[in-house]
DNA sequence: TCTGGGGTCCTAGGACCC
DNA sequence: TCTGGGGTCCTAGGACCC
């Protein structure tokens, strides 16, 4: 029996932990550059604000004075997420962290009454210790558990926020009322295809012959159908399985044409990829760079391109990765165009354990590895940005604009469990302007 | 004026091999 | 005129997720 714990309106709920005055009001959290809505409170949903809605359009949808718009503070969300996962991990067997606000786990009891009781206490514990509301669904497969948590969330009479879908008759009834695009694994395209065949509910979908389902989609769609029928066939690559790619990219605060400014961004992205590789005890042997114009600007010529470069050996060195990322960038950069977004992706990733022989091959590799280890030690001890590659010392021209941070420091005392260290991490994003000065002093 | 970021898996088709 | 058959590997692009 699988359970899925899903945080309600996660980013908004995190903001509310630190700022209870947001309770009961329509709140949205925005993406980078304060661009799109990426989380909505129930009140904001009720106003008809759709997911992904551009911030400037909220004024068209609603009375803007009604809606509180906040810039995302992902360091804080990650921290609260970790706390929730720890609590789930204490009870749940085989915890699979699926995303920042969701995790699957298996249930210990044969008896569903007992499982229900256990989950109810978990929901209460998370509310009490972390302050974030969580809904939990459980069923025979992950896909059904997902639907169950959906039901738990929607049902206003269900105070304990736990829902089990275990009775065959009830499952059928629920599936007949679930719209096909609310099923996990069926997105926009497949929804359109299925609708055109007259399939609009999960109940109708499970009646289709699997050969037909395979023709509409692919093997994944067949698996989704099996899961809805109660046959377990989707596995989740859990957190301890290594990443296959690591990406770092940003939409710039405005369009940029100067080559050096974009190069600075590329170096910064490569540096972040390298840092994450080292945190995971891994190294990569390929790096891809992409750059693109602003596809919303009809008045500017549009150009986008990408380039991959293979490194001579696996590395997690910021300098190696930045150097090769710049080679790739030089390949694709064109004069006379403007750019709005760029990114760096590292692939062909292996754990350092697998690479012991390779990585210590050359004199240079050994020195680089030692140097990066030393830099990590210093940055971990004295702060993330004590030693960085030179072009990333100051805040780049490309840095995204975010102007809607909640006044966190004023509300922080609501949260007693926070150490000074977290405090500074949470505030670091707010204080970009201060950062700039600090960095100049460091220089 | 203003439109996110970071992942995974599958498939078709081309290159290449014998 | 007429031009094999089968296999593997790689990559780009499309679909999905949060």
Q: Which of A170-174, A200-204, A418-422 has the lowest mean pLDDT?
A: A418-422
The integer distance in angstroms from the CA atom of A331 to the C1' atom of C5 is 40
Residue A9 lies in a domain: yes
Q: Name the percent of chain A in helix, strand, coil, to the closest 5.
A: 50, 20, 30
Q: Is the Cβ–Cβ distance between A232 and A141 less than 8 Å? A: yes
Output A427 or A254, whichever has higher pLDDT: A254
Q: Same domain, yes or no, for A193 and A103?
A: no
pLDDT band at residue A355 under the 50/70/90 scheme: confident
Q: Same domain, yes or no, for A4 and A129?
A: yes
Residue A207 lies in a domain: yes
Q: Same domain, yes or no, for A111 and A12?
A: yes
Name the domain count of chain A: 4
Which chain C positions come under 7 Å from a protein C-beta?
12, 14-18
Q: Same domain, yes or no, for A351 and A263?
A: yes
Return the pLDDT at A418. 46
Residue A115 lies in a domain: yes
Q: Is the CB of A402 under 7 A from strand B?
A: no
> What residues make up the domain containing A429?
412-442
Write down the mean pLDDT value for chain A. 86
Output A199 or A356, whichever has higher pLDDT: A199
Q: How many CB atoms lie within 10 A of CB A214?
A: 15
Q: Check pLDDT > 60 for residue A408.
A: no
Return the pLDDT at A237. 58
Q: Measuring from the CA of residue A348 to each C1' atom, give the nucleotide at the shortest distance.
A: C10
Return the pLDDT at A156. 83
pLDDT tens track for A38-65: 999 999 999 889 999 999 888 776 666 6
Q: Same domain, yes or no, for A224 and A157?
A: no
CA distance A42 to A135: 14
pLDDT tens track for A109-128: 999 999 999 999 999 999 99
Per-residue CA distances from A191 to A30, A177, A179, A199 (Å): 27, 16, 9, 9
The integer distance in angstroms from the CA atom of A56 to the C1' atom of B1 is 9
Q: Check pLDDT > 50 for residue A439.
A: no
Q: Which residues, including other chains, have CB under 8 Å from residue A208's CB and lie 6 or more apart?
A: A199, A225
Q: Which residues, including other chains, have CB under 8 Å from residue A104's CB and lie 6 or more apart?
A: A2, A3, A4, A95, A96, A98, A142, A145, A236
- Average pLDDT for A327-345: 93
Q: Same domain, yes or no, for A296 and A229?
A: no
Residue A191 lies in a domain: yes
Q: Is the CB of A243 under 7 A from strand B?
A: yes
Q: Same domain, yes or no, for A252 and A233?
A: no
Determine what percent of chain A is predicted with pLDDT higher than 70.
Answer: 87
Q: Check pLDDT > 60 for residue A22.
A: yes
- Average pLDDT for A400-406: 83
CA distance A394 to A440: 7
Return the pLDDT at A409. 47
Q: Same domain, yes or no, for A358 and A297?
A: yes
For the domain that residue A317 is a member of, what is the CATH number? 3.30.1490.100
Which residue is nearest to the C1' sugar atom of B4, using CA?
Answer: A31
Residue A194 lies in a domain: yes
Q: Is the CB of A249 under 7 A from strand B?
A: yes
Q: Same domain, yes or no, for A6 and A155?
A: yes
Q: Same domain, yes or no, for A16 and A152?
A: yes
Determine what percent of chain A is predicted with pLDDT higher than 90.
Answer: 65
Q: Same domain, yes or no, for A391 and A428?
A: no
Q: Check pLDDT > 60 for residue A162.
A: yes
pLDDT tens track for A380-396: 777 777 777 877 777 78
For the domain that residue A216 is a member of, what is the CATH number? 1.10.150
Q: Same domain, yes or no, for A158 and A232?
A: no
């Amino acid at each position: 029996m699988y359970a899925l714990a899903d945080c309600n309106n996660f980013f908004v709920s995190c903001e509310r932990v630190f700022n209870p005055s947001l309770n009961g009001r329509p709140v949205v959290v925005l993406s980078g550059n304060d661009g799109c809505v990426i989380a909505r409170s129930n009140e904001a949903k009720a106003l008809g604000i759709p997911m992904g809605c551009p911030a400037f359009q909220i004024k068209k949808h609603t009375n803007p004075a009604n809606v509180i718009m906040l810039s995302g503070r992902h360091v804080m969300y990650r921290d609260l997420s970790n706390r929730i996962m720890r609590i789930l991990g204490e009870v749940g067997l085989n915890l699979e962290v699926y995303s920042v606000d969701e995790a699957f786990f298996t249930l210990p009891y044969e008896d569903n009454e007992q499982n229900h009781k256990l989950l109810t206490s978990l929901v209460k514990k998370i509310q009490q210790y972390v302050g974030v509301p969580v809904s939990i669904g459980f069923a025979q497969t992950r896909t059904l558990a997902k639907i169950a948590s959906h039901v738990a969330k929607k049902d206003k009479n269900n105070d304990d926020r736990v829902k089990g879908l275990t009775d065959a008759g009830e499952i059928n009834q629920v599936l007949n009322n679930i719209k096909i695009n609310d099923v996990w694994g069926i997105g926009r395209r497949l929804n359109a295809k299925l609708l055109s065949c007259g399939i609009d509910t999960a109940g109708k979908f499970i009646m289709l012959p699997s050969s037909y389902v395979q023709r509409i989609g692919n093997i994944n769609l067949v698996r989704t159908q099996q899961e809805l029928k109660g046959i377990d066939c989707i596995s989740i690559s859990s957190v301890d399985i290594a990443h296959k790619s690591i990406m770092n990219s940003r939409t710039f605060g405005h369009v940029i044409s100067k080559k050096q400014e974009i190069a600075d961004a590329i170096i910064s992205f490569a540096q972040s990829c390298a840092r994450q590789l080292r945190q995971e005890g891994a190294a990569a042997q390929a790096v891809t760079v992409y750059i693109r114009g602003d596809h919303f600007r009809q008045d500017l010529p549009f150009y986008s391109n990408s380039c991959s470069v293979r490194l001579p050996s696996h590395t997690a060195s910021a300098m190696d990765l930045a150097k090769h990322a710049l080679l790739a960038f030089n390949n694709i950069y064109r004069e006379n165009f403007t750019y709005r977004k760029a990114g760096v992706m590292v692939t062909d990733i292996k754990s350092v354990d697998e690479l012991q022989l390779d990585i210590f091959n050359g004199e240079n590799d050994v020195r680089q590895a030692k140097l990066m280890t030393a830099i990590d030690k210093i940055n971990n001890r004295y702060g993330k940005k004590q030693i960085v590659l030179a072009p990333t010392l100051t805040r780049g021209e490309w840095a995204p604009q975010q102007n809607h941070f909640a006044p966190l420091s004023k509300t922080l005392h609501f949260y007693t469990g926070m150490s000074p260290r977290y405090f500074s991490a949470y505030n670091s994003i707010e204080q970009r302007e201060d950062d700039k000065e600090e960095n100049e002093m460091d220089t």
